[in-house]
Amino acid sequence: MGFPTWPRQNGPVGSRALDRLATLRLMWPIGIVIAALAAAWLVYFDVAGPVRAVIALGFLLIGPGMAFVPLLRLQHTSYTVVSAVGLSLALDLIVAMAVLYSGFWSPVLILEILIALSLIGALCQVLLWHSTRRKRE
């Protein structure tokens, strides 16, 4: 059993569906950049309270992974989200261990590194989106 190949290109309707899908793929990088900037702002200005914890935890849980998993172009959204959470947790752990073993333990440094990785992944998604749009024109 193979993966579904939706949306199929059946004339103008298929091309509109592909345009909509391509535009939706651009929403993840935008969301990642917004979440990264929000987390950085809250940490930089040392905002205390549950808002900081929720936004930082949300970013750490899905941000770094969702920056790279869409580059794999998985067909199902559920596969993408589950893979993104797993990759995010793995990247969080790898970065934290590298910072710990280097002797520069700092939660702020860990967050900065993860934000940088996420922004690089979001940039890769935008470049892929742009090159795909350019090929179709």
pLDDT recorded at residue 38: 95
Q: How many domains does the chain have?
A: 1
pLDDT tens digits, 42-78: 999 988 889 999 999 999 999 999 999 999 988 888 9
Indicate whether 90 belongs to any domain.
yes
The chain-wide mean pLDDT, for the chain, equals 86
Indicate whether 13 belongs to any domain.
no
Give the separation between CA 32 and CA 115, rounded to whole angstroms. 9
Indicate whether 42 belongs to any domain.
yes
Indicate whether 11 belongs to any domain.
no
pLDDT recorded at residue 9: 47
* Higher-scoring residue by pLDDT: 90, 7: 90
Range of the domain at 44: 25-136
Indicate whether 18 belongs to any domain.
no
pLDDT tens digits, 116-137: 999 999 999 999 888 877 776 6
pLDDT recorded at residue 65: 95
Instruction: Centre a 10 Å sphere on the Cβ of residue 134 and count the other Cβ atoms it contains.
Output: 8
Indicate whether 12 belongs to any domain.
no
Please give the structure tokens belonging to residue 49.
């309270």
pTM, two decimals, is: 0.80
Indicate whether 75 belongs to any domain.
yes
Gyration radius (Cα) of the chain, Å: 17
Query: Residue range 2-21: average pLDDT?
Result: 54
pLDDT recorded at residue 75: 85
pLDDT recorded at residue 132: 79
pLDDT tens digits, 75-131: 888 999 999 999 999 999 999 999 999 999 999 999 999 999 999 999 999 998 888
Asked if 13 contacts 81 with a C-beta cutoff of 8 angstroms, the reply is no
Indicate whether 118 belongs to any domain.
yes
